[in-house]
Structure 1
Amino acid sequence: MNKGQNLYKKAKKIIPGGTMLLSKRPEMFLPEKWPSYYSKAQECYVWDLDGNKYTDVSIMGIGTNILGYGNKEIDEVVSNVVKTGNMSTFNCPEEVYLAEKLIEINPWADMVRFARSGGEANAIAIRIARAASGKDKVAICGYHGWHDWYLSTNLGNDEGLDQHLLPGLNPVGVPNHLKGSTLPFLYNDYEELENLVKNHDIGVIKMEVQRNQSPKEGYLQKVRKLADDNNIVLIFDECTSGFRETYGPIFKKYGVEPDMTVFGKTIANGYALTAVVGKRAVMEAAQNTFISSTFWTERIGPSAALKTLEVFEREKPWEYITELGGYITKKWKEIADNTNLKINTFGIPALTGFSFASEDALKYKTFITQELLKKGYLASTVLYSCTAHTIPIIDLYLEELHTVFLTIEKCENENLRIDDLLESPVCHGGFKRLN
């Protein structure tokens, strides 16, 4: 019996799409078989509604829990907030203390605004940057949320965002007059960005510093100079990459500073808190527009973030998860070599992933999830590392994965048919309507 799937069937009738987050839809993992809902999460373990315990060697809350699920220090702080009051007519002092801390971590910056989700924070950054630049057009590279300003990239250009994480995003519901206001450019292609700036009145460049590949030598420096020379506000989106390789933004590694940056996911270890950090000359433009929300003033988010940053500073978890991610990537390659399978690896070490160089890649991905679920693992072809992932835990997972690769090898050699081995429909590879 799968209580989770039964509940998900009900959810799809009363919740459009079934879930609040595309990346957590069961169809993205193992359609009709994925447990879907949890009853408890601790360290790197998750329990489903039937009481089954799984080791999460996949997306770890979509990358929100570097310190593992249910960190005691952070949870104690949150419990105290619940006891003493999460909301009030007054503002919580923690938001001021957290702003001070983020400016300390980012000495190039002067001011901070907070939100509770990555999409909100990115929308705030764009609003402020447009207000500061006095220009409407935005050049983007990467994934920056779901709001109109971003999805408008696909108006009249169905493939506009296909190379920016998710293919097939339909801009239905986005006002047509926004067409041409957000223009995409490919990562590491400086000439494409330069041409956008030459041919359009670009006011904002917004980009992820690094996701699946490293920047070419001098690339980020050239982007910075291009922005300076053309009075463009430069925003580095660190919602995903922040605090995974340094104590703060990944752009620290490259000696380039933006005008604004956006933090999310990791900053509060699973509690809702995101931040827009920037230079005073840009951030003050927030006073000339309207940016305001009731629940951005709740106390749990900033309190959890303050404690998370304290633990980060003490334990330096980015060092461990980066080393572990490198180890995992190396082992994946060894397993593939040993089974004569061709894979491509991608991502920064702490957010590592692989894909099969095969026309049956999605089927193999589904098969991995299916077989490892039977062994008590939540697994896919990506692994978001956390400090609860010990080497013994990872090695046991890799042993099970090797066994699955041996079966996939037989499918590639046509000794087995992958279609005969799948017990569910094939997982989805991008955005699809699921109701």
Structure 2
Amino acid sequence: MSKRTGQDLYKKAKTLIPGGTMLLSKRPEMFLPENWPSYYSKAKGCSIWDLDGNEYRDVSIMGIGPNILGYSHDTIDEAVMGAVTNGNMSTLSCPEEVALAERLIELHPWADMTRFARSGGEANAIAIRIARAASGKDKVAFCGYHGWHDWYLSANLGDGENLDGHLLPGLNPLGVPKNLNKTVLPFNYNRLDELEAIVRDNPDVGVIKMEVSRNEGPAPGFLEGVRKLATENDIVLIFDECTSGFRQTFGGLHKMYGVEPDMAMFGKALGNGYAITAIIGKRSVMEAAQNTFISSTFWTERIGPTAALATLKEMERIKSWEIITETGKGISQRWRELAAVHNLKINTSGLPALSFFGLDTPHWLKYKTLITQEMLKRGFLASNSVYVTTAHTPEVINPYFDNLDDMFALIAKCEKDELCADDLLEGPVCHGGFKRLN
């Protein structure tokens, strides 16, 4: 199959767009340098067609996680086309934003008010601004990944490794004002003692921002301890659910653990590929938004909330969170079984619907590249993660594993020195962290 059109266009893009793409996670170097298709012409279900007309089954990151119902879902697209037909923008506001606010609050009775944006980074920045305004204190204790804005990247000022466990290793905070140093303070997940020390030593911490879960679940008492610490010290607790929301419950993952924050954000899955993010919170916190300035023209467009309302309705109808959780559990189990067959040491992690695997070997990045290279030839976009959607049916997953079996067999031979991965690779090894590309 020819796949050069996309690569040729990407080479051109790197001369016109710093980094080549708008999203680090979509850079071809993260998958298959010099050989990744790079661009799509069409997407439907979990299939993608590249610029040369080749069809691939996407058993990887599915657009980095927004398309929980699969690409180009008929019901969602129909609702969006109705919004387009009736006008996406006007001097007046669209009623869908009120309906969406009401629906999200119904799903999270602890919350009273909602603000909307269009990207996860924006939602995080809005939440931080509101929380600082509400608490009257500037410093933020955080855990997990929360976007690209100055408030977050300032964690790497003075210590370039602070974000390594939360973001991609090697990220340089150039362009972030140096006077933001020490305004955000990292703690590790499940380390309540680290957070307690931060709060004890920094009475001006006004916000705790964290993911409910990412690669592992909370230890007994961890989330409860965070909630108690925030309450006792008049700190606003924010759960970033931009990634985890609607993947294991109908709403925030925190509902599964019975711990309520003061604010929470949702994105990605909320609009099934259309840009919409939401910040929900308690009235006592959210009304602080009126005492500062948070405003943007395109937060008022109609497509986002229309898509979200249709997505919520469809997710509730089919109980999508149950489907993708069971599918994801099955995928992780089959990875482990396949590794055992080939005597490979494997570790799996992530939420069931956001599953990852890694092989315990110093040659892992070479093998990861090899998997992507060979699976691409067989019609799959595949690496070491699957962002599960309802479109990942057995008709997709079973052939994926049939072919992955061959990949693990190749790797097993490389581990026994019967083959050499370097000889099998047709291009450079994929990147394992942030690297400047041009």
For the superposition of Structure 1 and Structure 2, which TM-score range results when normalised by the shorter chain? over 0.9
Please give the secondary structure, in 2, of the residue aligned with 1:355: strand
Cross-structure match for 1:300: 303
Q: CA deviation at 1:228?
A: 0.3
1:332 maps onto 2:352 in alignment: no
1:28 maps onto 2:5 in alignment: no
Aligned pairs for 1:121-270 (under 5 A) are: 121-200=123-202, 201-270=204-273
Distance in structure 2 (CA, Å) of the matches to 1:231 and 1:73: 44
Q: CA deviation at 1:135?
A: 0.5
- Give the length in aligned residue pairs: 435
Which letter does structure 1 place at the counterpart of 2:178? N
Please give the secondary structure, in 1, of the residue aligned with 2:328: helix
Q: CA deviation at 1:235?
A: 0.1
1:286 maps onto 2:281 in alignment: no
Which letter does structure 2 place at the counterpart of 1:276? I
| Counterpart pick for 1:375 among 378, 392, 401 | 378
Structure 1, unpaired ranges of 5+: none
Distance in structure 1 (CA, Å) of the matches to 2:93 and 2:195: 42
Which letter does structure 2 place at the counterpart of 1:270? G
Please give the secondary structure, in 1, of the residue aligned with 2:114: strand
Distance in structure 2 (CA, Å) of the matches to 1:71 and 1:59: 17
Cross-structure match for 2:279: 276
Which letter does structure 2 place at the counterpart of 1:426? V
Please give the secondary structure, in 1, of the residue aligned with 2:56: strand
Please give the secondary structure, in 2, of the residue aligned with 1:109: coil
Q: CA deviation at 1:434?
A: 1.0
Cross-structure match for 1:365: 368
1:277-318 deviation digits (Å, cap 9, x = unpaired): 000000000000000001001000000000000111111101
Q: CA deviation at 1:84?
A: 1.1
Cross-structure match for 1:55: 57
Distance in structure 1 (CA, Å) of the matches to 2:265 and 2:229: 20
Cross-structure match for 1:14: 16
1:7-35 deviation digits (Å, cap 9, x = unpaired): 00000000000000000000000000000
Q: CA deviation at 1:392?
A: 2.5
Please give the secondary structure, in 1, of the residue aligned with 2:92: coil
Please give the secondary structure, in 2, of the residue aligned with 1:228: helix
Q: What fraction of aligned residue pairs are identical, expressed as a percent? A: 68
Q: Give structure 1 regions of 4+ aligned residues with deviation exceeding 4 angstroms.
A: none
Distance in structure 2 (CA, Å) of the matches to 1:168 and 1:275: 30
Distance in structure 1 (CA, Å) of the matches to 2:57 and 2:396: 8
Cross-structure match for 1:315: 318
| Counterpart pick for 1:37 among 30, 34, 39 | 39
Which letter does structure 2 place at the counterpart of 1:136? D
Q: CA deviation at 1:82?
A: 1.1
Q: CA deviation at 1:358?
A: 0.8
Please give the secondary structure, in 2, of the residue aligned with 1:211: coil
Cross-structure match for 2:350: 347
Structure 2, unpaired ranges of 5+: none
Q: CA deviation at 1:121?
A: 0.2
Cross-structure match for 1:98: 100
Please give the secondary structure, in 2, of the residue aligned with 1:410: helix
Cross-structure match for 1:46: 48
Q: CA deviation at 1:165?
A: 3.2
Q: CA deviation at 1:391?
A: 1.3
Report the TM-score when normalising by structure 2: 0.99
| Counterpart pick for 2:420 among 417, 420, 424 | 417
Which letter does structure 2 place at the counterpart of 1:117? S
Cross-structure match for 2:122: 120
CA RMSD of aligned residues (A): 0.6
Which letter does structure 1 place at the counterpart of 2:350? G
1:350-386 deviation digits (Å, cap 9, x = unpaired): 0001011111111110000000000000000000110
Distance in structure 1 (CA, Å) of the matches to 2:75 and 2:321: 18
Distance in structure 2 (CA, Å) of the matches to 1:264 and 1:429: 25
